[in-house]
Amino acid sequence: ETGVTQTPRHLVMGMTNKKSLKCEQHLGHNAMYWYKQSAKKPLELMFVYNFKEQTENNSVPSRFSPECPNSSHLFLHLHTLQPEDSALYLCASSQDEGKGRGYTFGSGTRLTVV
């Protein structure tokens, strides 16, 4: 148990489907992050939330829609995805932007778009 839980662990979806990824942290952290990890590519920071407010959106296509209802929960809503969106999606959390203790990561959701 890492303290950051992601569900589902695996997801296969068609290009016309709508699905959501969920992330929950029990660490009392105030910042949460979505990362995309594709094969042979560096980690890509997608979104950052501090105290439930989105503070960063790294030019992510609108087919990815984040939601952060409170400091413990983070969602990534998916719709009309493309095959190139297949990747491991990682959620992370931190206290005070991770300066002293870094980030705590979840185990990820392996997404396959067919």
Partner 1 sequence: AQSVTQLGSHVSVSEGALVLLRCNYSSSVPPYLFWYVQYPNQGLQLLLKYTTGATLVKGINGFEAEFKKSETSFHLTKPSAHMSDAAEYFCAVYGNNRLAFGKGNQVVVIP
Residues forming contacts to partner 1 in the complex (CB under 8 A) are 2, 4, 6, 33, 42-43, 45, 48, 56, 88, 90, 92, 97-108, 110
Rounded to 5 degrees, φ, ψ at 30 are: -115, 5
User: Rounded to an integer, what distance in angstroms lies between the CA atom of residue 16 and that of residue 33?
Assistant: 26
Q: What's the closest the beta carbon of residue 83 comes to partner 1, in angstroms?
A: 20
Please, which residue, 66 or 108, has the CB nearer to partner 1? Answer: 108
Rounded to 5 degrees, φ, ψ at 83 are: -55, -30
Q: What's the closest the beta carbon of residue 5 comes to partner 1, in angstroms?
A: 10
